[in-house]
Structure 1
Amino acid sequence: MFDRLRARLWKLAFRLFPAYRGTGGRVTHIEPDWSEVRVKVPRNLRTRNYVGTIFGGSMYGAVDPIYMLMLINRLGDDYVVWDKAAEIRFKKPGESDLYATFEVSDAEVAEIQQALEDEESIDREYTVDLVDEDGVVHATVEKTLHVSTDEEKRA
């Protein structure tokens, strides 16, 4: 129950946080365990560019922090997670609302934890597509995240 409330509060925080709000994106769903997050980037006056399609900055900005926040919440306080690199590839103009679904499985979390038993830090790559209602991909974002153990908190 507390996890569901916490997920709802995070959705509210995304709506209120000025930097995220400015992207025009909207977090529509957060699983209580942060294994899945869904984002919508509406095509509206706020997100349209000069030619009437969704501004690329809105597309990227709406998906930028999601994987990092998912890993922070899934791994817990004994780990440090940072965005290290990103790349966006535009495939089609965003002429309608776009959607992104992010997933970090239990197996992925276990794999990260296992890898960090042998190494101080690792980099992980994640990919998310921005799709329209029909599932047509309009942009693909690749994120590289740096994950390490936080030895200071363990001491």
Structure 2
Amino acid sequence: MTTKTPFHRWLFAPARFRLLVGLYPPLLGAGVRVAYMADDWTDGAISMRVYPWTSNLHGAAFGGALFSATDVLYGMMLAAQLGRDYEVWTKAATIEFHSPGRGTLRLRVQLPPEEAERIRTVAARDGIAEVVHRVEIVDSGAAVVASAQHTMRVRSRSAG
């Protein structure tokens, strides 16, 4: 991630990002942790353990906790690859629940450099780019527990 200061470069290193997400109270309480983040921000994984305080009355993962797990990686990965000249915001998001989630749940996000470059090109040209990202949460047997769709808005800071 290209940033203004040495502190921000230190803070937004992938290993520190993993640590900070793990300590962020809403995600810590939801049992969400970054299990993996590639050094180049192209690949990441979330692990979410279902605890009694993160489950519903049926013992399955609480929907809000599932939703929070889907909102962690893509925006940060995109912001890190685009650098400080771009802002990345979640414009809209939806989630669909497919089956009860129990135990340890996982999701993986991949963002190839070519995709980030395509988004950068559109944002530089038009001032704003919108990108839709889909992700699935799976259980230990690879059954899809939930799928989410996030619409991200990317704005070039130079667009004013």
Q: What's the TM-score, normalizing by structure 2?
A: 0.87
1:67-78 to structure 2, matched below 5 A, reads 67-78=74-85
Whether contact under 8 Å (1:24, 1:46) holds in the other structure is no
- Equivalent residue for 2:151? 144
Deviation at 1:56, TM superposition (A): 0.6
Spell out, residue by residue over 1:1-58, the C-alpha distance to the aligned partner (whole angstroms, 9 max, x if none).
x99x922111110111112222221111111111111001112223211110111111
Q: Distance in 2 between matches of 1:145 and 1:43?
A: 27
Q: Distance in 2 between matches of 1:139 and 1:21?
A: 20
Residue identity opposite 1:76 in structure 2: G
Cα RMSD of the aligned pairs, angstroms, is: 1.9
Deviation at 1:104, TM superposition (A): 0.8
Deviation at 1:129, TM superposition (A): 0.2
Whether contact under 8 Å (1:84, 1:146) holds in the other structure is yes
Aligned pairs, number: 151
Query: In structure 2, the residue corresponding to 1:62 is in which secondary structure?
Result: helix
- Equivalent residue for 2:135? 128
1:2-151 to structure 2, matched below 5 A, reads 6-151=13-158
Q: Distance in 2 between matches of 1:117 and 1:63?
A: 27
Which segments of 5 or more consecutive residues in structure 1 lack a partner in the other structure?
none
Query: Structure 1 runs of 4+ off > 3 angstroms?
Result: none
Q: What's the TM-score, normalizing by structure 1?
A: 0.90
